[in-house]
Amino acid sequence: MTTARTTPARTTPTLAVLAGRAAAVTGAAAVLTLAAAAPASAHERWFADLADGGDWGFFLSPLPLALAATMVVVTVAWRLVARRLPRPELGVLRPMGRLAPYVPRLLGIHLGVSLLAFSVTGSFLTPSLPLHDVPGGDLAGLAEAAVGIWLITGVRLRVAALGVVLLGPAALLAAGPVALLETAALLGIALFLAVLPPSDGTFGRVDATPRQLRTALLGLRVLVAVALVTLAFSEKFTNPELARNTLAEYPQLNVFALVGLPVPTDVFIVVAGSVELLFGLLVLSGAMPQVAVLVAMVPFNATLVLFGTTEVIGHLPVYGVFLTLLVYGSNRATAAEVAWLPSRGDVAAVVDRSRTRPARRTAPAV
């Protein structure tokens, strides 16, 4: 006697579920849009008179502490909401996912053009670090340009990624560890390209395995988050004087004043720093990358008219990162890897592998 094998019926989301998902995405986007509408995302050191940082008393006052804690809570809630949504969360952007095999090539071009432009304009890794302040001066600029051109070619980019890493010590000697952390996004791109370099195929096409992709994206997200969080503290939370100088020279940046809201300068600085902190945490989270990137592009593009070429060149690597997260987040096959974070089991497995050494082979007894 045989029994018929039944296959479980495919469940179709009900109207209520679909409405709930739409409301979750809309609500998340609305919260992030309101936050992003507050500050413009210009880097103060690129355009304003420098000021000594390290004013932790400013950050440890009630409002900055409260808003920073709120940003952490928002990030946790963001990731929890993302678990209830489909991937990708914005189906209309799925066609962008077709670019996924070519992202390493595009990301290398973004970083390469930026480094080459920095060299030509007399800067090193960032518009705020002049070449004449860097050990080696013009020689360092020549190395920066050479690495940039190499990245643009797309050939053997693992070695070019090492070249980006080797540029770091010169920046460290010239500007110190905080400035190096502010440029950690460049190192994140280099790490991504070292794990997942373009191939010799058409347009550098890469068909990455899930493990390769999640490793490359995790390294990218962590280091970009380090850069954004560092900037939130080094240019705002612990350096309010620098932010005040920027607002004094460019009062247009205070969008609250533009719409007639009398917000004190220091309150605006805290809000701006909190939003930059939030974007860093959201990049680290990797959840809902489509919504996060689309909203983040608002403040990152808001200052282009005001600051022009310097802003475009300085933000070019970040634009490449946003493109990376948006494309992989729009592809059904890769969207899950964008938000991947290692579990305790993953970390324990890595530790165990590092402790386990291959046993030595002994010659058989004669």
**Closest-CA residue to 241 (of 99, 117, 57, 28):** 57
> What's the average model confidence in pLDDT over 77-84?
94
Residue 32 is predicted with a pLDDT of 53
Distance, CA of 295 to chain centre? 13
What's the whole-number mean pLDDT along residues 312-320? Answer: 89
Q: Where are the domains of the chain?
A: 30-341
**H helix or E strand, kind and range, residue 329:** helix 309-329
CA–CA dist 80, 77 (Å, integer): 5
Which pLDDT band, with edges at 50, 70 and 90, does 9 fall under? Answer: very low
Q: Which of 114, 91, 135, 110 is nearest to 291 (CA)?
A: 91
CB 220 within 8 A of CB 321: yes
Amino acid present at 366: V
The answer, yes or no, to whether residue 206 has pLDDT greater than 70, is: yes
Task: Tell me what the mean pLDDT of segment 298-321 comes to.
Answer: 81
Q: CA 257 to CA 152: how far, in whole Å?
A: 42
pLDDT at 69 over 90: yes
Q: Which amino acid is at 201?
A: G
Does the pLDDT value for residue 311 go beyond 70?
yes
**Cα–Cα distance between 53 and 39 in angstroms, integer?**
20
Mean predicted confidence (pLDDT) in 350-365: 59
Rounded to 5 degrees, φ, ψ at 123 are: -120, 165
Between 79 and 355, name the one with better pLDDT: 79
Determine contact, residues 48/245, Cβ cutoff 8 Å: yes
Q: Are 39 and 253 in contact (CB under 8 A)?
A: yes
Task: Give tens-digit pLDDT for 240-267.
Answer: 998 888 888 888 787 777 777 888 999 9
pTM over 0.85: no
